[in-house]
Structure 1
Amino acid sequence: MSQAIDFIYDFCSPNAFLAHKILPELADRHDVEINLVPVLLATVFKATNNQSPFQAFSDIRQKSAYLTHDLHRFARRRGLSFHMSPHFPVNTKFAMRGAVYAKGKSWENKYVDALFDAIWVHGQKVDELGVLMDILQENELPVRKLREAMTSVEVKQQLKDQTKAAVRKGVFGVPTFFVGSEMFFGKNSLGNLELELSGPS
């Protein structure tokens, strides 16, 4: 595999969840790996003077309704289970620290799948450590080690550093993807990302 897709994500984003669900099939079609890059979206927003579309357009009833409709339509057309979280906006700082610790381990994808599903399929409140531990237990993940990581000063700093590095590369929200130096933002950019992987026309 000569190329890879860097997938910059935070579990708090419904668009990142939907992209996560369809990205593996796209990567398989082009025989490329996916490099998962966890960041803290709230920090990205603060650093770039950005905000979520639901917050930015909260006073525009029609647009807010459309954004929700678009999420459900995207999921429905692809046969994906999806529900808006009853706890939205979701605080994912502990979950994202766990993602940093999971990086490169044999169970990284299992962890990421479990946390995305917990929020956007099952509506669980992952900002509570007790709930998080139950999710880890149910998915046969290393509960004790992950709990330690989620409260670790070193892991917390690593997440901050990764987030700052993403912002320096031009990231202003998630999901964001890189193929080499080419950046693609949002789940609806995956068509252009696939064209990039296909090479010159």
Structure 2
Amino acid sequence: MGQLSFFSAEARQPCVGDLAGLLCGPGQALGFARGRAARVSVTVDTHCRAAAVAAALAERGVQARTDLDEDGSVQVTTAFRIDLTGLAGQWLDGSRKVVPADFTLDGGALRLWALASGRWVETGYFLGLDPESPDTHEALRKALATSGLPSTLWTGKEGGPALRVVGRRRLERLAELVGRAPRGVAERTWPAA
């Protein structure tokens, strides 16, 4: 086994800042009480994925509830919390979602991004993006490249928008950064080399 990366999800303790990974994908932040509290929510495609996201949030000391949407998707939502205001403040410009100028991806954030919207496709591994925030896509592609994972932006109707990671070495790097699959996560959704 090779040396564990300093940026790997398994190399450090989970923290509230890891919730940035949900915002990389389809997650949303919402401020409340003039910036004194905030919450994060993400809509996922299955109950299993929702349970895995909720468990990952609990590991970070953040409790969340899950609600079934009319279309069969599941929304995972935290309560309004004081310790989420900094995260929301970095990711919001008014009500518009933005990527912080100094944003860097690490294993913890990548782990939550993969939990919320990652999946295997025939052409590689997709990390889902927020279709409602197209201005974030290029900044996230650059942040992913800076973490050693060059990707291409996929905007096709099926599975898009997403960042596509391909190549054995890149997929090995991604798998190393996100760590082992949490219990109950389907293999078709988790990065592996």
TM-score bracket relative to the smaller structure: under 0.3
TM-score (norm 2): 0.27
User: Is the helix fraction higher in 1 or 2?
Assistant: 1
Of the two, which has the highest radius of gyration?
Answer: 1
User: Is the strand fraction higher in 1 or 2?
Assistant: 2
TM-score (norm 1): 0.26
Higher relative contact order (CA 8 A, sep 6+): 1
